[in-house]
Amino acid sequence: MTDKNTVFQQNKTLNIRGSLMDLSTPKVMGILNLTPDSFYDGGNYNQCDTALLQVGQMLEEGADFIDIGAYSSRPGAADISIDEEKERLVPVIKMIIKQFPHAILSIDTFRAEVARAALESGAHIINDISAGELDAQMFSTVAEYRVPYIMMHMKGTPKTMQQHATYSDVFNEVLDYFIQKVNVLKDLGVNDLIIDPGFGFAKTTNNNYTLLTRLDEFKILGLPLLAGLSRKSMIWKTLGTSANEALNGTTVLNTIALMKGASILRVHDIKPAVEAIKLVSQLHGL
């Protein structure tokens, strides 16, 4: 670290349905899993009433976005149909918007048809774990709706990704992947882009820590960075514990990600992430 101005990226904004969000101070994205089998909290919030309670709690604790997923992307997760994903997702989106009209909703899906249904229901952002690899219509859909697009690096599918965790140079392969994707999306007129290196997706533990160590080098893309480290196996396998015991480790790695320029922390636990941002911001505001 050379000076305090290099800790966070230069000022960035997202155009969210005509309103600009400033990312010069990092933001928190709360995870809402509507699935019965997600790796940490699967089944806890797959009913409308429990989902609404969780959204209210996350917003109260300071979440800037709510990221809603109805398709489990844990390693080895079973496939579900497009219709089932939409049936899980759309009613919850509508209820959240009705109860929390100012909430900014990100939709965790790699399917263009699901993305379209979510955006028509009032969602604001698409978060695609495959960066368009699993649905050729995703880029054109995002371009049509002119919404912010989070693209993550992954190889294979959620069911097969861990079979593809082989790299000669993981950082440069991921960087090259994003350079190609950014060029295609820019040509389509998509300007509000966010990069997610995909911790835990087709990555070994060593791959994950290499990407975290070099996270600041992704700034060459000139785009905001999202760090999705929350309670992942790179934490609890290293510590010999479990996802349930990985909150402290999550905060440690989130702090490192902030020091290396992350603009968004995607987390299960809002308050610790909000506090990490406040403390790192104070440290580098001296």
Please report the pLDDT score of residue 9 as a whole number.
41
Residues marked active site are found at 232, 266
Query: Could you report how far apart the first and last alpha carbons of the chain are, in Å?
Result: 15
Q: Give the number of other CB atoms < 10 A from CB of residue 203.
A: 27
Please report the pLDDT score of residue 256 as a whole number.
98
At 47, the pLDDT band (50, 70, 90 cuts) reads: low
Hey, CA dihedral for 31, 37, 39, 44, is it positive or negative? positive
At 42, the pLDDT band (50, 70, 90 cuts) reads: very low
**Cα–Cα distance, 123 to 104 (Å, whole number):** 7
Residue 43 has pLDDT above 70, yes or no: no
3 state DSSP class of 140: helix
Amino acid found at 118: A
Contacts of 149 (CB under 8 A, 6+ apart): 125, 126, 128, 142, 185, 190, 192, 193, 194
Residue 255 phi, psi (nearest 5): -65, -45
**Cα–Cα distance, 58 to 62 (Å, whole number):** 6
> What are the tens digits of pLDDT across the range 89-103?
999 999 999 999 999
The residue among 241, 46, 40, 77 whose CA lies nearest residue 154 is 77
> What are the tens digits of pLDDT across the range 139-184?
999 999 999 999 999 998 888 888 888 999 999 999 999 999 999 9
CA 238 to chain centre: 22
